[in-house]
Chains A and B, each alone.
Chain A
Amino acid sequence: VNLTDYLATMPIAEASTKPAEEQQSQQPNPKLDRYSWLIRPCSIYKEELRVCRSRAYRRHHEFVYGTPPDCSQWAVDYDNCLQQNDDRPAFEALVLSEMRRRHARLRAMTGNDVWQYRDQPPAEWNSPLPSGAAEASTVDRLTLTGADEALYSSFEQYGVLGPMSIGARMSQCTLL
Chain B
Amino acid sequence: MPSERQPSSASTAADESSASKSAPSSEDYGYSVFPKRDPGADYKAPARFIGFRAWRHNRCLKNVLDCSMTDPFIRYLIVAIRSRGCSFTLSRNVSCERCRFSFSGGYDPMRKQVAVCENEFWAKPGICSVLRHELIHAFDDCRAVMFKGADEEAKEPNESLDRLACTEIRAASLNHCMLGAAKMEGYTGMFNYAGQHQHCVKSKALMSVLAARQISRPEGEAAIERVFDRCYADLEPFGRIPASLKSFRSIAIALSLTALGTAIQFRRLANGPEMLLPVPLPVPRPLPDA
Contacts and interface: CB of A to CB of B under 8 A. Distances in A.
Interface string A113-143: 1111110111011110110101100110111
B48 interface: no
A40 interface: no
Given A114-B230, A170-B245, A122 B179 contact: no
B233 A112 contact: yes
A151 B141 CA distance: 22
Contacts of A125: 86-87, 112, 142
Interface string B145-176: 11000000000000000110010000000000
A175 B145 contact: no
A174 B227 contact: no
Contacts of A138: 61, 91, 95-97
Interface stretch (A7-15, A22-30, A81-89): A7-15
B285 A8 contact: yes
Most buried by A among B78, B193, B230, B234: B234
A133 B285 CA distance: 54
A120 B230 CA distance: 23
B235 A63 contact: no
Interface in A54-82: 56-57, 59-60, 62-67
B70 interface: yes
A139 B72 contact: no
B194 A63 contact: yes
Given A1-B290, A66-B194, A109-B234, A59 B75 contact: no
A77 to B, nearest CB: 15
Contact of B196 (A63, A126, A175): A63
Given A108-B234, A155-B79, A65 B195 contact: yes
A57 B112 CA distance: 35
Contacts of B65: 142, 145, 147, 150-151
Most buried by B among A11, A60, A154: A60
A56 B91 contact: no
B273 interface: no
Interface residues of A, number: 65
A148 B234 contact: no
A176 B245 CA distance: 15
Interface stretch (B24-32, B210-218, B258-266, B276-284): B276-284
B71 interface: yes
Contacts of A151: 65, 68-69, 78, 90
B73 interface: yes
A114 B36 contact: no
Contacts of A150: 65, 69
A67 B281 contact: yes
Nearest to B285: A9
Most buried by B among A6, A65, A115: A115
Give the interface size class of chain B: 35 or more
Contact of B235 (A105, A147, A170): A105
A175 B73 contact: yes
Contact of A148 (B90, B146, B195, B235): B90
Contacts of A164: 72
B245 A169 contact: yes
Contacts of A118: 142-145
A40 B212 CA distance: 42
Interface stretch (B2-10, B119-127, B236-244): B236-244
Rank and list the top 10 A-B pairs by shortest CB-CB distance, nearest first: A66-B195, A121-B85, A60-B243, A115-B144, A161-B72, A134-B36, A142-B91, A112-B234, A64-B197, A114-B166
Interface of B: 36, 58, 61, 64-65, 68-73, 75-76, 78-79, 84-87, 89-92, 94-97, 111-113, 140-146, 162-163, 166, 178-179, 182, 188, 193-197, 227, 230-236, 238-243, 245, 247, 279, 281-282, 284-285, 287-288, 290
14 contacts: A5-B290, A9-B287, A63-B182, A63-B195, A67-B281, A115-B166, A126-B92, A130-B111, A141-B58, A150-B69, A155-B79, A160-B76, A161-B75, A164-B72
